[in-house]
Amino acid sequence: MIKNNMDESLVKVSGVDKVFKRGSEVIHVLGGLDLEIPNGEFLALMGPSGSGKSTLLNLIGGLDRPSEGTIEVGGKRIDKLSNRKLAAWRARHVGLVFQFYNLMPVLSAQKNVELPLLLTRLSRSERKKRAAIALDIVGLSHRAGHYPRQLSGGEQQRTGIARAIVTDPTLLLCDEPTGDLDRKSGDEILDLLNTLNKEQGKTIIMVTHDIHAAARATRTLHLNKGRLSTEAVD
Amino acid sequence: MKYFYLIFSSLKRKKIRTGLTILSIMVAFVLFGYLTAIRQAFDAGVEVAGADRLIVRHKVSIIQLLPQSYEAKIERIEGVDNAAHQTWFGGIYQEPKNFFAQIPMEPEELFDMFPEYVISDEHKAAWLETRSGVVVGRGLVERFGWKLGDRIPVNATIWGKKDGGRSWEFDLVGIYEGAEKGTDTSQFFFRYDFFDETRANGTGLVGWYTVRVTNPDKAAEVAAAIDAEFANSSKETKSEPEGAFIQGFVNQMGNIGFIIMSIMTAVFFTILLVAGNTMAYTVRERTNELAVLKAIGFTDRGVLALVLGESLALTFVGGVIGLGLAWLLVSMGDPTNGSFPVFYIPNRDIVLGLGLIVTMAFVAGILPALQAQKLQIADALRR
pLDDT at position B342 is 79
For chain B, the average pLDDT equals 90
pLDDT at position A2 is 36
Nearest by CB to B299, from A58, A87, A115: name it.
Answer: A87
pLDDT-above-70 percentage for chain B: 95
Determine how β-strand A9-22 pairs with β-strand A25-38: antiparallel
Task: List the domain boundaries for chain B.
Answer: 4-45+255-382, 47-251
The order of strands in the sheet holding A76-77 is A25-38, A9-22, A68-73, A76-77
| Contact at CB, A61 and B295, closer than 8 angstroms | yes
The alpha carbon of residue B254 is apart from the nearest alpha carbon of chain A, in Å, by 52
Collapsed DSSP state (helix, strand, coil) of residue A170: coil
What are the pLDDT digits (tens) for B136-150?
A: 999 999 999 999 999
Nearest by CB to B292, from A61, A87, A102: name it.
Answer: A102
- CA-based nearest residue in chain A for residue B294: A87
In angstroms, the Cα distances linking B64 to A58, B58, B212, B237 are: 87, 6, 22, 10
Closest CA to A228 of A55, A7, A73: A55
CA dihedral angle for residue A80, residue A82, residue A83, residue A86, rounded to 10 degrees: -60
Closest CA to A124 of B4, B302, B17, B214: B4
Correct CATH for A9-229 of 3.40.50.720, 3.40.50.300, 3.30.70.1520, 3.90.740.10: 3.40.50.300
The alpha carbon of residue A202 is apart from the nearest alpha carbon of chain B, in Å, by 17
φ, ψ (nearest 5 deg) of residue A33 = -85, 130
> Could you read off the pLDDT tens digit of each residue along chain A, which spans 234 residues?
333 444 578 999 999 999 988 888 888 899 889 999 999 999 999 999 888 999 999 999 999 999 999 999 999 999 999 999 999 999 999 999 999 999 999 999 999 999 999 999 999 999 999 999 999 999 999 999 999 999 999 999 999 999 999 999 999 999 999 988 898 999 999 999 999 999 999 999 999 999 999 999 999 999 988 788 876 655
Collapsed DSSP state (helix, strand, coil) of residue B132: coil
pLDDT band at B204 (very low <50, low <70, confident <90, very high): very high
Nearest by CB to B9, from A61, A102, A106: name it.
Answer: A106
In angstroms, the Cα distances linking B54 to A95, B43, B81, B369 are: 76, 17, 11, 54
List of chain B residues whose C-beta atoms are within 8 Å of the C-beta of residue A56: none
A112 touches B: beta carbon within 8 Å: no
Residue A224 and residue A74 in contact, taking contact as beta carbons nearer than 8 Å: no
Residue B168 and residue B154 in contact, taking contact as beta carbons nearer than 8 Å: yes
pLDDT band at B291 (very low <50, low <70, confident <90, very high): very high
